[in-house]
Amino acid sequence: MDIQNLLDDIVGTIKPQLGQGETARYIPQLGDVAADQFGISVATGDGEVYASGDSEVPFSIQSISKVFALALVLAGDGDGIWKRVFREPSGNPFNSLVQLEHEDGIPRNPFINAGALVVTDRLVSITQDAAGAVLDLLRTESGNNSVQIDSAVAQSEARHSHRNASLAHFLASCGNLENPVQDVLDAYINQCSLAMSCTDLALASRFLASNGICVDGTPLLSSPQTKRINAVMLTCGTYDAAGEFAYRVGLPGKSGVGGGIIAVVPNNCTISVWSPGLGRSGNSIAGVAALDEFTTRTGLSIF
């Protein structure tokens, strides 16, 4: 299969879907991004990269950062985090408040906002600079030292973070935060505001397709830990649309409201797509369609 031809073809196939959906207007800086952009990159385990469309344009990775924060926490102190966060699909929007109260301050999974705040809290405890730790990992694994936090996006999100602040305060009231609410919120907002391209992200995710082994050959995660992160991505990575994503794409994946999605073909490759128009659950409409096209045409899914 000629992957480059396939990606070029997907860019053409996906064109009619560009601009569908809504950009993430609740973070004004993201609401303003031109919705008719689309990029796709594939990085293979042996270092090949194939890319097409707007694959080199940096975008806000948003919740995709939650995968890397979780990887660092699992690498740093093993399974302890699972006492503070469940690993079940939520069936609710990523920023929902109701479930957290029903379940006494233990978030459903590490990829909804409440769960990610707990993971980032732990990463603050381990590293003192959670967003910096995520940034270092992403720079090293992508090989791109110019990856950085987009401060305009961070400020925009900080000014509109009432929901995440309420989740964090509720977690604190249940004794499920180790650090001050504001420190956790700042770290979370900064990690979400990292800007990267599809190619950067596909490269940086390769350890998830390589049994946890980093680009320099050292292990970040054990093979079982990598299996578990991929499993949680499959069941929870696209929120209340995780069932639909598994049905259409058939791969572990993680989306962000910047319009990016990463997907993992274990022991083979990673795929990163980006297009800013989001569906009801906050996943890129054209991005999901492109991944559906990719796995359907290549047969590269876990099913």
Residue closest to ligand GLN when measured from CB atoms:
63
**Residue 92: both structure tokens together:** 């609710």
Query: Nearer Cβ to ligand GLN, position 62 or 210?
Result: 62
**Phi, psi (degrees; rounded to nearest 5) at 31:** -60, -25
Determine, following the binding rule CB under 6 A, whether residue 95 of this chain makes contact with ligand GLN: yes
Compare residues 8 and 244 and give the one whose CB is closer to ligand GLN. 244
94 belongs to the binding site for ligand GLN (CB under 6 A): yes
Strands 49-53 and 194-196: unpaired
Instruction: Pick between residue 41 and residue 96 the one whose CB is nearest to ligand GLN.
Output: 96
Which residues lie below 8 Å from residue 153, measured CB to CB, with a gap of 6+? 27, 29, 30, 60, 192, 193, 195
What minimum distance in Å lies between the beta carbon of 51 and ligand GLN? 23
- The count of residues in the chain is 303
Distance of alpha carbon 145 from alpha carbon 125, whole angstroms:
25
Residue 170 in the binding site for ligand GLN (CB under 6 A): no
Q: Which is nearer to ligand GLN, 50 or 94 (CB)?
A: 94
- What's the CA gap between 170 and 155, in Å, rounded? 23
Long-range contacts, stretch 4-8, CB < 8 angstroms, 24+ apart: 4/50, 4/52, 6/294, 6/297, 6/298, 7/40, 7/41, 7/42, 7/50, 7/51, 7/52, 7/53, 8/52
Least separation, in Å, of the C-beta of 69 and ligand GLN? Answer: 12
- Find the shortest distance in angstroms from Cβ 22 to ligand GLN: 13
255 DSSP β-pair partners = 261
Check residue 281 for interaction with ligand GLN (CB under 6 A): no
Structure letter (DSSP) for residue 24: -
Helix (H, G, I), strand (E, B) or coil at 77: helix
Q: Is 257 in the site for ligand GLN (CB under 6 A)?
A: yes
Provide the minimum distance between the beta carbon of 46 and ligand GLN in the complex, in angstroms, as a whole number. 31
CA–CA distance, 233 with 298 (Å, rounded to integer): 21
Question: 18 vs 117, which CB is nearer to ligand GLN?
Answer: 117
Binding pattern for the stretch 45-84 against ligand GLN, x by CB under 6 A and - elsewhere: -----------------xx---------------------
Identity of the residue numbered 31? G
How many angstroms separate the CA atoms of 128 and 124, rounded? 5
Q: How many whole angstroms separate alpha carbon 202 and alpha carbon 141?
A: 10
256 binds ligand GLN (CB under 6 A): yes
How large is the greatest C-alpha to C-alpha distance in the chain, in angstroms? 54
How many residues at the interface with ligand GLN, by CB under 6 A? 11
Catalytic positions are 63, 66, 188, 239, 257
Q: Pattern 113-152, binding to ligand GLN, x per CB under 6 A?
A: x---------------------------------------
Q: Is 60 helix (H, G, I), strand (E, B) or coil?
A: strand
- Judged by CB under 6 A, does residue 157 bind ligand GLN? yes
Q: What's the min distance (Å) between Cβ of 184 and ligand GLN?
A: 12
Among the listed residues 40, 42, 192, 264, the single contact to ligand GLN using CB under 6 A: 192
Q: Considering the complex, state which of residue 187 and residue 257 has its C-beta at the smaller distance from ligand GLN.
A: 257
- Half-sphere exposure for 182 (CA within 13 Å, toward CB): 1
Verify binding: residue 282, ligand GLN, rule CB under 6 A: yes
The footprint of ligand GLN (CB under 6 A) covers: 62-63, 94-95, 113, 157, 164, 192, 256-257, 282
